[in-house]
Structure 1
Amino acid sequence: MAANKSKGQSSLALHKVIMVGSGGVGKSALTLQFMYDEFVEDYEPTKADSYRKKVVLDGEEVQIDILDTAGQEDYAAIRDNYFRSGEGFLLVFSITEHESFTATAEFREQILRVKAEEDKIPLLVVGNKSDLEERRQVPVEEARSKAEEWGVQYVETSAKTRANVDKLWKPHRKSRNMPHLKKNQGDSLSLELWMWISWMGCRVGGLRGHLPSPAGPA
């Protein structure tokens, strides 16, 4: 019986998602909130932690493999290997630290460099710690403008209150007749929509006009 269960689990489609961003922006907190419905404020950074969870996409179970990478430069040498294995990326910064927002451009360039041979690179920009509005250093419009420049979607989250956490992962219903964007215009508006498309076997990266407007403060 155990062998059959293992065989069934291994047959599920697997999608690898990489959490990227500076240290202390809440990548681990977002991941743990999604995995366990729990807010972990103090977390000891490691090179990378991997998590796996089943989700239902259009009535079928698939597995998401989440790689939570450290933001410290000490681990930069091994980051490229992680990026090569990723199918989609969550580019995370803290709305309370403008420097972390500025760093997203460098992280994006690293991803594009490592994945240069791929036409489409699914990416979602995430402004975390929306519960700390009084300490905001990154205006919503500034972050949204940068995301639009890259041709991707921007969403604000709070790992503490769980605001918009599920929006990062849970799939939307099917969308049809979706236009394509070239790589230099951006790659994906929504990770959850990309996951559905990837699951269907279509490597489409840039999609516009079929999703809700990017989220502002929670």
Structure 2
Amino acid sequence: MRRMGKKLKGESPQLVSKNAMSKKPTPQPTLHKVIMVGSGGVGKSALTLQFMYDEFVEDYEPTKADSYRKKVVLDGEEVQIDILDTAGQEDYAAIRDNYFRSGEGFLCVFSITEPESFDATQEFREQILRVKNDENIPFLLVGNKSDLAEKRRVPLEQCRERATNWGVPYVETSAKTRDNVDKVFFDLMREIRSRKSDESRATNGDVKGKNRRKIKCAIL
């Protein structure tokens, strides 16, 4: 009986250890970081708030950048989206580069009723490419206020031509009617996810290549 007692006593820690090892931490949803860029007053905040809370806020002029985070289901997978809504004001340009560095994808927004805001997208695009040093960064050109078609001053063909020249998608939205609001955020997240997948495969390929080279050297 004493031997049995000792045996059971010796087995107990092993059982506890196995149970402890079987409890793996729940993986956190993948986080996709989106930056809203564009001139002031084009509806960046209205788009963000409509996506986040299903609310249309017509007169919202932030004096600083606002950050939002939300869990969503992207093609059957739960993910998190982190949205940084920049102020779009000239005196904000000094720290804009820091925001651009942190972003994984960009929604570049202009108003189809304001040609000046459309012209400004060129500068935003150049700044992002300079900071990221990457021509293929996930990026969507967004023409907002499509509900104001009668006040349109930026021709549709001109918008599409610019997007084609940049090699990026072009989508028109309305924060007021919610038209295409979810689409632009989800499409951008898909682009970010695809980019991360490509980078992961490239990294794994490099590691495997290094391992192969190491084995070859060992044989020699």
TM-score bracket relative to the smaller structure: 0.7 to 0.9
In the alignment, structure 1 residue 197 sits paired with structure 2 residue 194: yes
In the alignment, structure 1 residue 142 sits paired with structure 2 residue 138: no
Paired with 2:155 and 2:170, the residues of 1 have a C-alpha distance of 12
Q: Deviations over 1:104-146 (max 9, x none)?
A: 0000000001011x46311100000000111101011100000
Cα RMSD, aligned residues only: 1.7
Residue 164 of structure 1 corresponds to which residue in structure 2?
180
* Structure 1 runs of 4+ with >4 Å offset: none
Q: TM-score, normalised by structure 1?
A: 0.76
In the alignment, structure 1 residue 129 sits paired with structure 2 residue 145: yes
Q: Retained in 2: the 8 A contact 1:18–1:68?
A: yes
Residue 44 of structure 1 corresponds to which residue in structure 2?
61
Judging changes above 3 Å, is the alpha-carbon distance between structure 1 residues 94 and 119 closer, same or farther for their aligned structure 2 residues?
A: closer
Paired with 1:149 and 1:119, the residues of 2 have a C-alpha distance of 12
Q: TM-score, normalised by structure 2?
A: 0.76
Q: Deviations over 1:20-66 (max 9, x none)?
A: 00000000000000000000011131220001111222322110100
Residue 33 of structure 1 corresponds to which residue in structure 2?
50
* Percent identity between the two aligned chains: 75
Q: Retained in 2: the 8 A contact 1:57–1:196?
A: no
Whose radius of gyration is greater, 1 or 2? Answer: 2
In the alignment, structure 1 residue 65 sits paired with structure 2 residue 82: yes
With 38-47 and 123-132 compared, the bigger mean Cα shift is at: 38-47
Q: Retained in 2: the 8 A contact 1:120–1:203?
A: no
Paired with 1:60 and 1:136, the residues of 2 have a C-alpha distance of 38
Residue 212 of structure 1 corresponds to which residue in structure 2?
none
Residue 207 of structure 1 corresponds to which residue in structure 2?
none
In structure 2, the residue corresponding to 1:191 is in which secondary structure? helix
